[in-house]
Structure 1
Amino acid sequence: MATERPLPNLWHATAPAGPQTAPLAGDLTTEVAIIGGGFTGLSAALHLAEMGVKATVIEARMIGFGGSGRNVGLVNAGMWVKPDDLIATLGAAAGNRLLNELGDGPSLVYDLVVKHGIECEAVRNGTLHMAVGAEGLKEIRERETQWKKRGAPVDVLSAEKAHVLSGAEGFTGALLDRRAGTIQPLAYARGLARAALAAGADIFTDTPLLAAKRQGDLWKLQAGRGTLTARHVILATNAYGSLVADVPWKEYRQELTILPYFQFATNPLPDHISAKILPERQGAWDTGLVMTSFRMDRQNRLIFGSIGRLDALAAGTHRAFAARSLRKLFPYIGDFRFEYWWDGRIGMTTNNLPAMHVLAPNVISVSGYNGRGIAPGTVFGRALARHVIGDTSAVPLAETPITPDPWRSLKSAFYHAGAQAKHFIDWRF
């Protein structure tokens, strides 16, 4: 099983404690086995349990170990792909349905936060897509036009207004999306887990899926030190599928290209500084070729992220780039230090859209959130729950065959090396 370097992750330091869980031991029978304890799997478990269906989550490590505990925490609406491009790819009927479901995704997230009393630093004041140069401004204007045709509350802001709302220098404008917001992602995942348990689901951690065998119309899963027999299986591992062993449907792991993403979090900034940076606490990311993001947390830490992996060779380059970037974006920031840093994986598909697969009889998955994990994960978790109880139209995606990307390893290496090279140069002069 893959190993992970222990990095000081802010979300682990500040999230409320999760519910007590333990590894699976012995033999257990359930209606729906869910592989993966992140946003998708926990949303599926919660919604199944609320419908009176016995659901059991098995997680190889701990709740939110993967992308759900490493996310930037932006609760975005829609996908990264522009609405018109999404419809061109999927067709009008399917494309419009997916846009409607994911456009309402933030509402589902924040409704669950309120319904279940999840303490996750939830702020719904929108997000800012910051424009870099003339091309970036053109891009966000196209996004504004396309979303406004659909009635979405989005507006392009002038460079001056973008500066006021972000506190950052050098951007030519910003797209404010009022549907969106921010959360503490690991706290949200732990809250979903607590709600799912309260509704009657089971969750077992430190329980990797080791093998799966079809027996009649059931699946017998070897998981950790026990076995789990289920009628249905939901595979909810996304970019962390490498934690699943040699199962009959292992081909799904060949579809996603892994895009590494790191974050650095400062010490809590003084009030007179933090009041200037994202004063309304939107989360922000930019249109740059190598994207960067920035946001604040409740303790007034500034969190900066970009593409790259914090391995032994690249960590110093990315740290220096993050520090230079913050001083360039926020010249008034003064002295600061990085207290936390961590990285994670983003699962990318060839068309930058999620994919739904029926991998084997009664085995279903949705993966490939392409950097939009929180709202889509929650939406697709609910949809998968409805699917396995008989509503086969619940998932707002057509079933497609697995299409392995033969270039995935090369592309992943290119993203890592290219980002490291660019970060070595940027803001040095």
Structure 2
Amino acid sequence: MLSTPHKSHISGPHSHGPRSHGLWQATAPAAPATTALGGHVSTDIVIVGGGYTGMSCALHLAEAGRQVVLLEGREIGFGGAGRNVGLINAGLWLAPDEVSAALGPDHGERLLKLLGEGPAAVMALIDRHGIDCELERNGTLHCAVGASGLAEIREREAQWQKRGAPVKLLDASETAARLGTSAYLGALHDARAGTLQPLAYARGLATAVVKAGVTLHTSSPVTTAERKDGRWHLTTPNGSVDANWVVVATDAYSTGPWQMVRTEQVHLPYFNLATQPLAPGLLRKVLPGREGVWDTKTILSSFRMDRAGRLVFGSVGALRNSGTAIHKAWARRALSKLYPELGDIAFEHEWYGQIGMTGDALPRLHTFGPNAVGFSGYNGRGIAPGTVFGREIALLIKGEKTYAELPLPVSDVTPATFRRSREAWYEAGAQIAHLV
């Protein structure tokens, strides 16, 4: 039996407040009406987690006529799905050749192909279900800081192009024209990628899931999970579910029976600040193509535009305690260097969350017993991978794929070493870097 005490309140970046979802909470369409699980239900598949992976899996299964119950401990998009920057990236943080070397040519190239096509899968779902999530299809720009950064993106271009990907290295002048700043020596443009409003995408998937016939319960954290008479039996504070299959889609915010998924990951805090809407003249200069942007620094910066013309600017760090003032002051200095014409523009929203980092920056495929499976460890790349990994689990459950045909090999859960001290160092180190 898998069980741990459930905490009814989680403090810090996990709590729901003005710094948990920020701009995305303020501008996302409403989620479908839901209630907590009460009483006992029986189903074919129970999915635990209301982020991209869980929603995508539920949607693909329901559209195939399968009976699905989805349990979310808090609310739709509460974890990383409602807090991230909103870049629909192709691939992983690792360069393609590194992925292939780490996983071997079969799994490595299979994973690269799947994730390379991931943004197209996201956009197709958005189109098919009419999800209002501020989708932009103009790609992303990975910007080079210094000569080493330029060499890095040049190598990434070569590795992706030999796999047929539509990526192109832009020189300094082309980069400046796209960004409206001459701060970078070049940029790698990925035409496959784009941006969206991440919480709106999660809520839109939830609406599609409910329309497809999934029974969706929020405020229903799973407290125990055990096998009884060849089926899974899950309990929540006010109810229980029996199912043939369990899909664990809780990732970096895992608690309860699958707390081990959390312990395998080191949390890296990431914050975002959103300006007030830019004036029309500024919008013609600053990111006129509305690409999503991030740079090659170790403690990176990212920025993109939302539909109303707010510039969303972020970096590593947590907006709590002394970090709040330090990171906001750094952001204002950094923005003034990139775009001095913004002047003393006001920040309207601020929020942060946690990126779950695995030891090798690769995602994981775990099994938790017979007919219990989950992907995790997105390492800051959750939108497209979460969507296509959810679809992959659906194919497995439907019998259209075997475990051997999935994009990752099944692996054991291995707790991260010195996890708590590393997490404390990441938070403190980001403050030190942004202070000096």
- Provide the TM-score with structure 2 as the length reference: 0.95
Corresponding residue for 2:38? 25
- What is the CA–CA distance in structure 1 between the aligned matches of 2:406 and 2:431, rounded to whole Å? 38
Q: How does 1:95-244 map to 2 (within 5 A)?
A: 95-241=108-254, 244=255
What is the CA deviation profile of residues 157-179 of structure 1, one whole-angstrom value per residue up to 9, with x for unaligned ones?
A: 11111111111332111000000
Shift of 1:385: 1.2
Shift of 1:311: 1.0
Q: Which amino acid is 1:228 matched to? A: V
Corresponding residue for 1:78? 91
The reply to whether residue 408 of structure 1 matches residue 419 of structure 2 is yes
Structure 1 pair 11–250 and aligned structure 2 pair: CA distance change class (3 A):
closer
The reply to whether residue 267 of structure 1 matches residue 276 of structure 2 is yes
Q: Which amino acid is 1:209 matched to? A: V
Of residues 10, 14, 18, the one that matches 1:7 is 18
Moved over 3 A (4+): none
Q: Which amino acid is 1:396 matched to? A: P
Contact 1:23 1:224 in 2 (8 A): no
Contact 2:304 2:313 in 1 (8 A): yes
- What is the CA–CA distance in structure 2 between the aligned matches of 1:408 and 1:107, rounded to whole Å? 35
Corresponding residue for 2:354? 345
How many residue pairs get aligned? The number is 421
Of residues 378, 402, 418, the one that matches 1:392 is 402
Corresponding residue for 2:3? none
* Structure 1 unmatched runs, 5+: none
Alpha-carbon RMSD across the aligned residues, in angstroms, is 1.1
Q: Which amino acid is 2:38 matched to? A: A
Corresponding residue for 2:329? 320
Corresponding residue for 2:4? none
Query: Identity over aligned residues, as a percent?
Result: 50
Contact 2:261 2:376 in 1 (8 A): no
Shift of 1:334: 2.5
- What is the CA–CA distance in structure 1 between the aligned matches of 2:424 and 2:194, rounded to whole Å? 31
* Structure 2 unmatched runs, 5+: 1-6
SS of equivalent residue, structure 2 residue 368: strand
- What is the CA–CA distance in structure 2 between the aligned matches of 1:250 and 1:341, rounded to whole Å? 28
SS of equivalent residue, structure 2 residue 60: helix
Contact 1:79 1:372 in 2 (8 A): yes
- What is the CA–CA distance in structure 2 between the aligned matches of 1:49 and 1:415, rounded to whole Å? 40
The reply to whether residue 376 of structure 1 matches residue 389 of structure 2 is no
Q: Which amino acid is 1:401 matched to? A: D
- What is the CA–CA distance in structure 1 between the aligned matches of 2:392 and 2:363, rounded to whole Å? 13
Of residues 80, 83, 89, the one that matches 2:102 is 89
What is the CA deviation profile of residues 10-36 of structure 1, one whole-angstrom value per residue up to 9, with x for unaligned ones?
A: 001001111111111111111111111
- What is the CA–CA distance in structure 2 between the aligned matches of 1:65 and 1:256, rounded to whole Å? 18
- What is the CA–CA distance in structure 1 between the aligned matches of 2:81 and 2:430, rounded to whole Å? 23
Corresponding residue for 1:422? 433
Of 142-151 and 311-320, the range deviating more from structure 2: 311-320
What is the CA deviation profile of residues 216-256 of structure 1, one whole-angstrom value per residue up to 9, with x for unaligned ones?
A: 21111111311111111111011111xx22x2x54333211
- What is the CA–CA distance in structure 2 between the aligned matches of 1:82 and 1:173, rounded to whole Å? 18
- Provide the TM-score with structure 1 as the length reference: 0.96
Corresponding residue for 1:334? 343
Corresponding residue for 2:319? 310
- What is the CA–CA distance in structure 2 between the aligned matches of 1:86 and 1:419, rounded to whole Å? 27
- What is the CA–CA distance in structure 2 between the aligned matches of 1:287 and 1:416, rounded to whole Å? 20
SS of equivalent residue, structure 1 residue 399: coil
Contact 1:10 1:340 in 2 (8 A): yes
- What is the CA–CA distance in structure 2 between the aligned matches of 1:204 and 1:26, rounded to whole Å? 12
